[in-house]
Amino acid sequence: MFSPALRATATTLLALFVSGVHSAPPQTRAALSCTSSSFTNVVTLPGVTVTIESAVTKSGTYQESGNLGFPQQIDLLPSLCVVIVKVTNTSDVPIKPQSSYRFGMFLPTAAKWNNKIMTVGSASFAGGINWPDMGEPVHYGFATISTDNGHSSNGSDLSWVTPARLYDWGYRAVHGSVVVGKLLTAHYYGKDITYSYYSGCSTGGRQGLREIQNDANAFDGALIGAPAWDTVHLMPWISKMAYYQLNNTNGRLGTDQLNILVSEVLSQCDFQDGQTDRVVSKPEQCNFDISQITCSDPSRCLSSAQAQTAMHIWGDYTVNGRLASHGFTIGSEDQWPVYFGDDSTLTGFDFSYERLWINNNSAYKWQDYTDQAVSDSETVNPGQATANRFADMSSYRTRSVGKKGGKILMYHGLADGLIPPKASLQFYNQTMAATSGADTLDDMRAWFRYFEVPGMQHCFFTNARFNAPWYFAGSGQATQLRLLPYLGIRPARGDGWSVPNHLNDSSYDALAALMQWVENDKPVEKVIATAFNADFTVNRTRPICPYPQVATYGSGNINDAASWRCA
């Protein structure tokens, strides 16, 4: 739906920087049109260039050519204006000479605009505007923005690193995009924005938490999935995990061993949580006996060296008696190969972090990894990306700007093999401890709720054999159903947003539930998660619950959410 006639650039002039939408309500007037002149010389921002890319018509598509981070075409879009904003900032701290990044905007037609703005997060180390995930919030009516993080790369590429780009990836690109995006949105529609939201998973989760710690006024509500918040510890941990796999050739875990592990975990741990339902609901409480599958018959067993590798990966990573990172949960095994790599072709994340971001030594090999990486990583703290300023969460809770205090709905799949779910609980605990004057669980639940999702993998999906309910319109979930094969589902299914048959229904849709909480003071007591069959009929439903509650079976059909309550 690309219209060349619309493609034009407007460079804005002058030098008055307004630091937030609340301080600059434009006069109410009709919305402007999706043309470059709408943005010319009106908003006064230094270093900001606005380009109108195209006008998408109802049920249309958008795809940005040359986008390495998010090359996919996104479909089923409502009518909207596609805008790219380029920002350069020569005065940004702490690393000069300059901050330089772009962000994209999807601006729905004025009649469909819900008067709100949504900032969408990125994924892993990707450089590129996350247009695919931006395709979800526009259906609710959000003006939706997302930054390219200041570089161009696919998600597993860390070689773009320069000091300035690291800081842009770390936090500057998100912050500047939110500030400028709010101004441009209010300008375009000729009305003030009522609410600002955030949605992101993984790196996207980190970015949201980091921005909340940076600027308490950025958002009114945030949907945070499986956040990669602890960059300085997560990165050495996944290298250490790969090291365990690589260093002992006899102990390597291949597909066969991982399948044996997953099956054995299910048979030992499923019933231990009280229900035999193909979901390991309490992996932490499973008393798993790996000797049951340790023998010399590779068709049904692991060798003792292989068992040792698995034990290491489940275990916490401690250095000199200090916790560096929690290990992975029982039940997450089938996602581990993402980090394993192999000797000859070390692709993906493995050791690039130590090689390029910490040691700046292109000769660094996996064999060079030592536990020293943990303290080196803490010292370098690349781009100050780590979202560990827990005390700074207080002002988000108590701030007076905006309608109400900020709310956070965070979730993490308990079968996540890419980011340990315990890291989210750690974040929740540490925020509670650091939120002065509001440091009990009840106080926390008033503004920040954390939902564990048994059986869900990283951000979305589940082991298809077990089909745990995982779909609740979490960040990026609707998009993934359209883009990735799941249960062999082809062609792509779903509406591109929300939950099939329950569109915009806050009982099933976590974003709709968050909006009810922020705007109508209706706390999120539970969200019903759904599992689908290959034909996209509903396989089963089950509530996910705010910590410390867990879904508890009462009576009736075990595959129906109505038979469960949060307790």
Ligand X SMILES: *[C@@H]1O[C@H](CO)[C@@H](O)[C@H](O)[C@H]1NC(C)=O
Query: Residues interacting with ligand X, by CB under 6 A?
Result: 17, 87, 89, 91-93, 140-141, 154, 156-157, 161-163, 176, 180, 247, 360, 422, 425-426, 429, 464, 467, 504, 533, 539
Q: Which is nearer to ligand X, 7 or 271 (CB)?
A: 271
**How crowded is residue 215: how many other Cβ atoms within 10 Å of its Cβ?**
20
Q: Quick one: tokens of 550?
A: 């867990």
Q: Measured from the CB of residue 357, what is the shortest distance to ligand X in angstroms?
A: 7
Q: Which is nearer to ligand X, 87 or 212 (CB)?
A: 87
**How crowded is residue 489: how many other Cβ atoms within 10 Å of its Cβ?**
17
Q: Measured from the CB of residue 3, what is the shortest distance to ligand X in angstroms?
A: 25
Cα–Cα distance between 321 and 85 in angstroms, integer? 48
Which conformational region is residue 213 in: left (phi greater than 0), alpha (psi within -120 to 50 degrees), or beta?
alpha
Q: Which string of b and e fits 300-329 if b means at least 16 CB within 10 Å?
A: ebbbeebbbbbebbbeebebeeeebbbbbb
Q: Measured from the CB of residue 509, what is the shortest distance to ligand X in angstroms?
A: 9
Cα–Cα distance between 526 and 503 in angstroms, integer? 17
Contacts for 160 with CB less than 8 Å, ≥ 6 apart: 125, 127, 151, 152, 153
Q: Which is nearer to ligand X, 267 or 360 (CB)?
A: 360
Q: Measured from the CB of residue 141, what is the shortest distance to ligand X in angstroms?
A: 5
Q: Residue with the closest Cβ to ligand X?
A: 176
Q: Measured from the CB of residue 164, what is the shortest distance to ligand X in angstroms?
A: 9
Q: Measured from the CB of residue 429, what is the shortest distance to ligand X in angstroms?
A: 4
Q: Quick one: tokens of 351?
A: 């050791």
Q: Measured from the CB of residue 377, what is the shortest distance to ligand X in angstroms?
A: 13
Cα–Cα distance between 245 and 366 in angstroms, integer? 11
Q: Which is nearer to ligand X, 162 or 285 (CB)?
A: 162
Cα–Cα distance between 23 and 37 in angstroms, integer? 24
Q: Quick one: tokens of 68?
A: 């390495």
Q: Which is nearer to ligand X, 38 or 424 (CB)?
A: 424
Q: Which is nearer to ligand X, 292 or 439 (CB)?
A: 439
Q: Are strands 80-89 and 99-108 parallel, antiparallel or unpaired?
A: antiparallel
Q: Which is nearer to ligand X, 5 or 16 (CB)?
A: 16
Q: Measured from the CB of residue 75, what is the shortest distance to ligand X in angstroms?
A: 18
Q: Quick one: tokens of 413?
A: 């799949």
Q: Which is nearer to ligand X, 2 or 160 (CB)?
A: 160
Q: Which is nearer to ligand X, 3 or 372 (CB)?
A: 372
Cα–Cα distance between 424 and 452 in angstroms, integer? 9
Cα–Cα distance between 192 and 113 in angstroms, integer? 12
Q: Measured from the CB of residue 538, what is the shortest distance to ligand X in angstroms?
A: 8
Q: Measured from the CB of residue 533, what is the shortest distance to ligand X in angstroms?
A: 5
- Could you tell me where the beta strands, DSSP code E, fall in 495-537? 527-532
Cα–Cα distance between 135 and 155 in angstroms, integer? 19
Contacts for 325 with CB less than 8 Å, ≥ 6 apart: 230, 233, 234, 236, 237, 316, 317, 420, 423
Q: Got the DSSP string for 237-250?
A: HHHHHHHHHHH-GG
Q: Measured from the CB of residue 32, what is the shortest distance to ligand X in angstroms?
A: 21
Cα–Cα distance between 173 and 171 in angstroms, integer? 6
Q: Which is nearer to ligand X, 275 or 426 (CB)?
A: 426
Which conformational region is residue 360 in: left (phi greater than 0), alpha (psi within -120 to 50 degrees), or beta?
left
Q: Measured from the CB of residue 6, what is the shortest distance to ligand X in angstroms?
A: 25
Q: Which is nearer to ligand X, 9 or 91 (CB)?
A: 91
Cα–Cα distance between 142 and 134 in angstroms, integer? 10
Q: Which is nearer to ligand X, 141 or 283 (CB)?
A: 141
